[in-house]
Structure formats: C-alpha cells, structure tokens
C-alpha cells in the first residue's frame, strides 16, 4: 500500500526491530525521499500560460499609448477650486455620446509634476445651456488618494442620452505646493458617429486660470494632447510626401500639396499628420510649414479658406510646430472635392546664422492628409497632386493617402479610443495573470514542503506511539525507555537532519545546472531545521514531568500555531486550566491527539482555513475544524486517521467526535468531562503515573 507516494513501513516490534529503532530508520528513509518531493513541483497551470499568451498576442495588435513630445505649447486647461467648478462644451448640434474620454494634462518636459487630474467629477448632458434639465452620463471618484494622478486617461460609455451641451463638474481638487486647490485637464474627447464630436467646439468655464496658449479653455477641444497621433500596432514602410529641397524660405503659396476626393463630399474633420521619418534627424514635425493656408477647392468659384496660419511674419511661427501630433480641424458644413495645403513659408533645415536665412535649405513635408466623415477617411487611397514632388527613400505623393504616418498605421477615432480602452483592460488582466502564476508556483512549492514536514511529523508521532505502547511496564522501566528513546531520537535523527541541512547548503553553493536550485535547497535546509524543532517536541513529550495544566494549555496552543504555519488558521483558547499537574501520559496523549487531527486536516482536507479551539470550561473540549473537501465518516471509518484518534481518546477515557460531509469540511472534537478531568488529576497525584 502507498500513501501520497510514501511507502508504509512494517509495524514496530516485528522482525526484532525495537520501536525506537523503527522510528529512527523510518525518519532516515523519509529524509532520502525529500528531494523527490521537491522534484514533483511542476510549472504553473497550463490554462494561465495559455491565457497569458493570448493576452500578449492581442496586445501586439492594439494601439500603443505612447507619450509624444508636445511642441505646440497648448497643454490643456488649469482650473481653480471654484464653487461650483465646471466646464461646458457646446457641440452646436444634437449629439449622442458613445464614449466620453478625459485625458490628463502632461507637461512637455515629461517631469514628475502632478497632472492635476481631478479626484472626483460628474458628467451631464443637456439641451439647456444653463442645465436646468439634464441627464447624468457618469460620476467618478478615485477609489484611493492619488489614483487619478496616475491615470493615463479616464473613459466611460454613453447611456443613450442626447443633447447639445456637455458639462463636467469638478468636486475633487488637488493641492499645490503653496496650498492652493486646483485641477487640470488636457483634452476632452466625445466619440459620436465615429468622430470626436467635441473637436474644436467652443467651451466656457466657471473656474479658469488662463495662461495664453499653455492653459486655456479652448485647449480642451483643440485636438492637441500628449498621446497623439492616433496610431495602431502596424509599422509603416513610407515616410509621407515631400517637396525637393529649396533655397527660398518664403514661397507665398507656390509650394503646395492637395488631395482630390473625386467628387464633392461632406467633410466633418480634416487631419494633417506631420512627418517623422526614420533614419533622419529625430525631428517630429519634419517639413511642417511655419506659415500656411488650408483651402477647399482652390482656384474655383467655390474656394473656401479653412485655416489661415499666416498672421505672424517670418521668422516668427504663426503656428508652433505640432511635433508628431496631427493637426485636427472640424469645418462646419463643409462640402468639397479638393483639399490643399499651401505653404507660405517652408520648414527650415538647420539653424539660422545671424540675421540671415541661411543655410538656404527648406522643405515642405507631410505624412498624411485625411478627410473624415462618419468614421471613414474619404481621402484614403485618393490621388495626390503637388506643386513639385521628391520621390525615393520612403517619400512619394501616394504616401500622403496610404493610411500610415511615417512610423505607424493611422486609426479612426472609434478604433483608437476602443483600442486604448481594450489595452488598459488587457494590461490589468496581464498583471493579474502574472500575479496568479507566481502564486501558483509558490503554492505548489509550499504544498511539497508541507507534505515533507507532515510525513516527518507522522513518522515521529509513530515512534512516540510505539514508545507509549511499551509504557505498560513499571515506572522504572518506563523512565529508562523514555531516556533511551530520547537519546536515539536526539543522536541519530538529530545527526541525520543536521547532515541534511549541511548537505543542502553545500549543494546550493556547488550545483552548476541550468536552473539555480538555491531557493529550493534552502527550503529543504529550512525544513530539516524545522524538523529538529519537532524532535524537541518529542523529547518534551518523553520528559518525566509535563508541567502544570497551564503549561499543557500553552503547549497545545504552540503546537497548533506551528503545525498550521503557512495556511490561514485561527487558534482560540478559552477558559482557565485547573490547578495542579496532569498525568504525563494524559498530557502526552492530548498533544498527540491535536497533532494527528491537524496533520489529517493538512494532508487530506485541501482546506483554505483551519480553526483550532481549546476550551477549559468544565473539562477539556478541543476541536480542529477545516473548510476542506470533507468525507463520509461511515464510508471511511478506518481512514483519515480516525481509528488512531478514537483509540487515543479511549486511552484518555475521553470521547472523540467526527463530523464531516463531502464538500462541507470536517470537525474533529475531543471531549473530556470535568468530573473525569478531576479524577485523572487525582490519580496522577496519588500514583505518579497513568
């Protein structure tokens, strides 16, 4: 017969083997099996590994949330702690938000200064500019202090409510170094019909602390924020479209590029994506003109000026270079066939020298020009015309409408917003999976350690039981046997366990395999040292005097806590032990009963929690309860160590009760009445033995 893979040795007393020698040999044989127990620790469950691989594979396909350099000087909105503090966006039309996303303000330096993201706010929509009638879309409060400061973004789904005005009311503020209370936001994105309905919409606020360009209410809907452009997971093989190098900087619209949609189309948004070519100087916004106009259907009777960035005379920039972030426009009621970017002043390659315009090298470049309606890029794959074009090394006119920036594919608002939301979910899942994998590996190793310790304890208890079986002789013979068994356990078992600890430490230093066995061997060494502690318990049990009833109570509590170390457990002691001293064998049997009950719970119950109760009111009522798998006591009357427990209780003239049900846990209880308790103490005082 085998139990948990360990051989069951012949009973003591057979084949001329003394119980003490049998116990010692059993322990020595068990020690040789400890490495085998550890070798059975396997990898974490396959299902977690498969889940992790699936999450990582999906993450590769999702848009990365990358912090881009902010060169446009438009950081966001800085508000003070007004009562109330709110920001209102006027969509100028009826909008049904599908998602609302708030992006924190991040400084261009990327420093550690707090983002100022509010700690609590509500979002409402209404047709009334004063919000007399309104519908709540979302309400948020950070679960722990400072969580909002670390958010890459906050997002909530819409609830089907429709309105013209969206209001964000802030009621949780941050505290600055001077004690001032404030909040900051970088951008507000409202996804509706595949587009950002908030783009370039007018705003008003009750709590603005303006700083021109850097902190203004209009920055909340200007389309500039720290994680642009709207890129996906695929890499680009093209850089975009550019003109040849020119010596003249001021060209007055003679250098241009345009997209022909093939027919007049209604356009909701126009995106200009700056070039950021790989292999050249790391300059986001390469070739983006400092002065330009954006025209619809130029050189026709219906020509319309969409954007005029020519107000400042060179060398001052009319529009600060946007870096890698696309420039987004939301022309109201625009229908056009052609969209042209006409440069007034070209981007300068290299620095100016003195007051001259040298070195005389200038260029116009753009990675992508997009025209959006209803979540579809109308310009995708459409023909491109340029005043003059430079081809080669990733540059071509066709690259202006290929759907890629200079480095990545470009996504529509809906795909990008849902992609970064999905990425955030998967990154949380990945962190949980990694934690679970680590926990599973630790649990498996801990289980093996528990099995090894439990097996050693069982053998030690077997040796003690054999010694107790021989204690039917006279007191003198009993004392001699106790001392002999104590010497055997101390000299032979102690030496063997000490050798195990030494050899484990040496193996940890000398092993040169592919995997470092150090941590595992260190646990073996620790296990051996723990076993020495158990051996000292055995010696205490064999001592001629077991102390007072109070000492016995302390011993029971200490043994329970040590045997249950590593799992969730409670040890409760109630009542007061009586005065006097218990009989040695009665004290020993009570300790061994508790050890066997706990060992059975750890070996068989697969429990998450074990409770030990020791009650000294009207005798001794001791119980071991677990929430494990349970069993049928009638079907396994001789299993789970029940026979040993009942025999030991009978020897103590006490009662053993076992209550268990499959799936409902197990309770093992020892009951010794107060009357019987008193009699046993009196016997001990009169006879000095059981």
What CATH number does the domain containing 175 carry? Answer: 2.60.120.260
DSSP 444-479: HHHHHHHHHHHHHHHHHHHHHHHHHHTTTS-HHHHH
Q: Would you say residue 594 lies in a domain? A: yes
pLDDT category, 464, cuts 50, 70, 90? confident
Do 427 and 321 belong to one domain? no
Name beta bridge partners: 275: 286
Name the DSSP class of 245.
Answer: P
Q: Would you say residue 649 lies in a domain? A: yes
Instruction: Report pLDDT for 399.
Output: 96
CA 514, chain centre distance (Å): 30
What residue numbers bound the domain in which 60 lies? 46-64+422-436
With vertex at residue 489, the alpha carbon angle to CA 483 and CA 494, rounded to the nearest 5 degrees, is 135
Neighbouring C-alpha atoms within 13 Å toward the C-beta of 235:
3
Mean pLDDT, to the nearest integer, of 667-676? 83
How do residues 228-287 score in pLDDT, each as one tens digit?
Answer: 788 888 899 999 999 999 888 888 999 999 999 999 999 999 999 999 998 766 677 899
Specify burial of residue 661 (Cβ count, 10 A radius: 0-12, 13-18, 19+). exposed
- Bridge-based pairing of strands 568-574 and 609-615 is parallel
pLDDT category, 557, cuts 50, 70, 90? very high
Residue 309, CA distances (Å) to 74, 203, 335, 339 in order: 16, 22, 21, 16
What CATH number does the domain containing 319 carry? Answer: 2.60.120
Do 238 and 384 belong to one domain? yes
Closest C-alpha to 317, from 352, 356, 290: 290
Q: Would you say residue 461 lies in a domain? A: no
Strand ranges across the sheet with 609-615: 568-574, 609-615, 619-626, 666-673, 655-660
Q: Is the pLDDT of residue 53 over 60?
A: yes
Do 339 and 211 belong to one domain? no
Instruction: Report pLDDT for 6.
Output: 32
Q: Mean pLDDT across the chain, nearest whole number?
A: 81
Strand intervals (E) in 378-521: 384-386, 408-410
Mean pLDDT, to the nearest integer, of 50-55? 90
How do residues 475-488 score in pLDDT, each as one tens digit?
Answer: 665 565 466 456 55
Do 211 and 235 belong to one domain? no
Place of tokens 């197990």: 666
- CA dihedral sign of residues 38, 43, 48, 52: positive
Q: Would you say residue 326 lies in a domain? A: yes
Contact 348, 362 (CB under 8 A): yes
- pLDDT above 90: percentage of residues in the chain: 41
Instruction: Report pLDDT for 586.
Output: 85
Return the SS3 of 642: helix
Q: Is the pLDDT of residue 685 over 60?
A: no
Do 249 and 350 belong to one domain? yes
**What is the C-alpha to C-alpha distance for residues 198 and 188, in angstroms, rounded to an integer?**
7
How do residues 315-336 score in pLDDT, each as one tens digit?
Answer: 666 677 888 888 899 998 899 9
Q: Is the pLDDT of residue 455 over 90?
A: no
Do 213 and 99 belong to one domain? yes
Do 156 and 238 belong to one domain? no
**What is the C-alpha to C-alpha distance for residues 605 and 625, in angstroms, rounded to an integer?**
10
Q: Would you say residue 206 lies in a domain? A: yes
Instruction: Report pLDDT for 456.
Output: 75
Instruction: Report pLDDT for 609.
Output: 92
Closest C-alpha to 672, from 601, 582, 545, 597: 582
Do 143 and 252 belong to one domain? no
Closest C-alpha to 612, from 590, 582, 587: 590
| Number of domains the chain contains | 4
Helix residue ranges, H only, 91-227: none
436 vs 89, more confident: 89
Return the SS3 of 84: coil
**What is the C-alpha to C-alpha distance for residues 587 and 685, in angstroms, rounded to an integer?**
14
Do 137 and 286 belong to one domain? no
Q: Would you say residue 523 lies in a domain? A: no
What are φ and ψ of residue 116, in 5° steps? 80, 10
Instruction: Report pLDDT for 340.
Output: 98
101 vs 115, more confident: 101
pLDDT category, 357, cuts 50, 70, 90? very low
Lowest mean pLDDT among 98-102, 467-471, 650-654: 467-471
Burial 356-384 (b: 16+ CB within 10 A, else e): ebeeeebbbbbbbbbbbbebebbbeebeb
With vertex at residue 400, the alpha carbon angle to CA 395 and CA 405, rounded to the nearest 5 degrees, is 80
Q: Would you say residue 502 lies in a domain? A: no
With vertex at residue 471, the alpha carbon angle to CA 468 and CA 473, rounded to the nearest 5 degrees, is 170
Instruction: Report pLDDT for 576.
Output: 92
Burial 161-191 (b: 16+ CB within 10 A, else e): bebbbbbbbbbbbbeeeeeeebbbbbbbbbb
Contact 106, 117 (CB under 8 A): no
What are φ and ψ of residue 148, in 5° steps? -60, -30
Do 149 and 121 belong to one domain? yes
Mean pLDDT, to the nearest integer, of 446-472? 73
How do residues 70-93 score in pLDDT, each as one tens digit?
Answer: 656 778 899 999 889 999 999 999
Note if the bond before 315 is cis, omega within 30 degrees.
Answer: yes
Residue 71, CA distances (Å) to 214, 274, 280, 516 in order: 11, 12, 19, 50
Kindly report the pTM of this predicted structure: 0.57
Strand intervals (E) in 35-161: 77-80, 85-95, 99-103, 120-126, 135-141, 154-157
Instruction: Report pLDDT for 354.
Output: 45
Contact 466, 22 (CB under 8 A): yes
Taking phi over 0 as left and psi of -120 to 50 as alpha, with beta for the rest, 669 belongs to beta
Q: Is the pLDDT of residue 547 over 90?
A: no
Q: Output the CA torsion 486→491→495→498 (10° steps).
A: 50
Do 643 and 670 belong to one domain? yes
Closest C-alpha to 272, from 255, 250, 257, 262: 257
How do residues 576-605 score in pLDDT, each as one tens digit?
Answer: 999 888 887 788 888 889 988 998 888 888
Count, residues in the chain = 690
Instruction: Report pLDDT for 125.
Output: 98
Do 430 and 572 belong to one domain? no
Closest C-alpha to 448, from 163, 7, 42, 15: 42
Q: Would you say residue 173 lies in a domain? A: yes
What CATH number does the domain containing 654 carry? Answer: 3.30.565.10
């Amino acid at each position: 017969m085998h139990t948990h893979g360990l051989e069951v040795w012949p009973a003591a007393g057979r084949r001329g083997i003394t119980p003490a020698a049998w116990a010692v040999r059993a322990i020595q044989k068990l020690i040789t099996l400890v490495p085998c127990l550890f070798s059975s620790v396997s990898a974490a469950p396959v299902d977690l590994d498969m889940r992790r691989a699936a999450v990582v594979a999906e993450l590769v396909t999702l848009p990365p949330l990358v912090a881009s350099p902010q060169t446009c000087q438009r950081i966001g909105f800085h508000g003070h702690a007004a009562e109330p503090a709110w920001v209102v966006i006027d969509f100028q039309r009826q909008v049904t938000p599908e998602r609302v996303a708030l992006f924190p303000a991040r400084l261009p330096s990327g420093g550690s200064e707090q983002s100022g993201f509010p700690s609590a706010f509500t979002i409402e929509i209404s047709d009334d500019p004063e919000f007399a009638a309104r519908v709540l879309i979302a309400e948020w409060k950070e679960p722990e202090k400072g969580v909002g400061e670390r958010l890459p973004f906050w997002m909530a789904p819409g609830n089907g409510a429709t309105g013209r005005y969206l209001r964000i009311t802030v009621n949780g503020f941050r505290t600055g170094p001077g004690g001032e209370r404030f909040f900051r936001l970088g951008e507000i994105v409202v996804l509706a019909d595949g587009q950002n309905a908030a783009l370039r919409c007018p705003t008003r606020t009750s709590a603005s602390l303006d700083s021109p360009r850097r902190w203004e209410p209009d920055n909340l809907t200007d389309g500039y924020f720290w994680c642009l452009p709207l890129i996906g997971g695929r890499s680009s093989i093209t850089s975009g479209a550019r003109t040849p190098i020119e010596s003249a900087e001021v060209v007055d619209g003679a250098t241009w590029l345009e997209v022909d949609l093939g027919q007049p189309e209604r356009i909701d948004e126009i995106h200009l994506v700056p070039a950021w070519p790989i292999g050249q100087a790391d300059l986001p916004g390469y070739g983006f003109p400092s002065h330009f106009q954006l025209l619809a259907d130029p050189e026709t009777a219906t020509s319309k000026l969409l954007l005029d960035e020519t107000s400042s005379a060179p060398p001052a920039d009319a529009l600060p270079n946007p870096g890698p972030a696309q420039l987004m426009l939301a022309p109201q009621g625009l229908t056009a066939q052609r969209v042209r970017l006409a440069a007034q002043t070209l981007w300068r390659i290299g620095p100016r020298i003195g007051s001259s315009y040298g070195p005389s090298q200038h260029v116009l470049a753009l990675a992508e020009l997009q025209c959006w309606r209803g979540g579809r890029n109308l310009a995708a794959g459409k023909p491109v015309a340029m005043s003059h074009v430079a081809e080669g090394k990733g540059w071509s006119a066709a690259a202006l409408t290929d759907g890629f920036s200079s480095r990545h594919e470009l996504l529509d608002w809906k795909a990008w917003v849902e992609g970064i939301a999905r990425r955030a979910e998967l990154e949380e899942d990945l962190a949980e999976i990694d934690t679970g994998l680590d926990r599973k590996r630790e649990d498996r190793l801990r289980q093996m350690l528990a099995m090894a310790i439990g097996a050693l304890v069982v053998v030690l208890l077997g040796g003690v039981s054999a010694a107790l079986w021989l204690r039917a002789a006279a007191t003198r013979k009993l004392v001699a046997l106790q001392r002999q068994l104590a010497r055997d356990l101390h000299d032979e078992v102690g030496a063997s366990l000490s050798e195990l600890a030494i050899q484990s430490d040496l193996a940890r230093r000398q092993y040169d395999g592919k995997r470092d066995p150090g941590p595992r061997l260190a646990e073996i060494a620790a296990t051996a040292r723990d076993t020495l502690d158990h051996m000292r318990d055995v010696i205490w049990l064999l001592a001629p005097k077991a102390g007072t009833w109070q000492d016995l109570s302390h011993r029971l509590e200490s043994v329970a806590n040590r045997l249950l170390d590593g799992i969730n457990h409670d040890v409760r002691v109630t009542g007061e032990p009586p005065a006097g001293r218990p009989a040695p064998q009665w004290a020993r049997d009570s300790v061994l009963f508790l050890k066997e009950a706990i060992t059975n719970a750890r070996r068989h119950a697969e429990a998450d929690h074990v409770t030990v109760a020791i009650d000294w009111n009207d005798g001794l009522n001791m119980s071991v309860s677990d929430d494990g798998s349970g069993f049928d006591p009638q079907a396994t009357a001789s299993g789970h160590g029940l026979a040993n427990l009942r025999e030991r209780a009978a020897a103590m003239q006490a009662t053993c009760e076992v209550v268990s049900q499959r799936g409902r846990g197990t309770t093992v209880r020892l009951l010794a009445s107060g009357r019987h308790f008193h009699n046993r103490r009196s016997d001990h005082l009169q006879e000095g033995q059981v």
